[in-house]
Amino acid sequence: MCTNAQSIAGRHVQIVRRLGEMAENGEQVDQLVRATIRNCFTAMRTAGTDATEAVEIICGLLEAELAAPGAERAGCRNVLESAEMHAEYLLFTEQRSLH
C-alpha cells in the first residue's frame, strides 16, 4: 500500500468527516461529499495507485471513521456512508469504461 495514497485518502476522509459535522448542523453537503471523493480518487490515480486499491484505501478509512466516536450521529453517518458508496461507484464506472 502506497504511503502517498494513504496520505491523500486520509486528508480527503478528514474533509468528509468535517462535511458530516456540517450536515449535522443542517447544511446541504451532498455535492461537496461527491466532489471530495472524486478529487481523492483522481489524486490517488494520478499518484499511480490502481483504481481498486484506491477505493479499498478510501473505503477502509471511511469505515474506520464510521466506527469512531461521534459517527453514530445520523447526519455524520449518512455522509460517511454516502462517501463510501460514491467511492464504490467511481470504481464501478472506472472498470466499466475499460470494457
Each residue's pLDDT tens digit, 19-73: 999 999 999 999 999 999 999 999 999 999 999 999 999 999 999 999 988 778 8
* 39 neighbors 18 (Cβ within 8 angstroms): no
This model's pTM is above 0.85:
yes
Please give the pLDDT value at position 44: 96
Range of the domain at 51: 3-98
Q: What is the pLDDT of residue 69?
A: 84
By C-alpha distance, which of 28, 20, 4 is closest to 79?
20
In angstroms and rounded to an integer, the radius of gyration of the C-alpha atoms of the chain is 13
C-alpha distance across the termini of the chain, in Å: 26
Q: Per the structure, how many domains does the chain have?
A: 1
Residue 2: the pLDDT is 61
Contact call for residues 7 and 34 (beta carbons, < 8 A): no
Whether 96 has a pLDDT exceeding 90, the answer reads no
Instruction: List C-alpha distances in Å: 89 to 41, 46, 55, 82, 94.
Output: 11, 18, 10, 10, 9
> Grid coordinates representing 16?
468528509
Q: Per-residue pLDDT averaged across 2-8, rounded?
A: 88
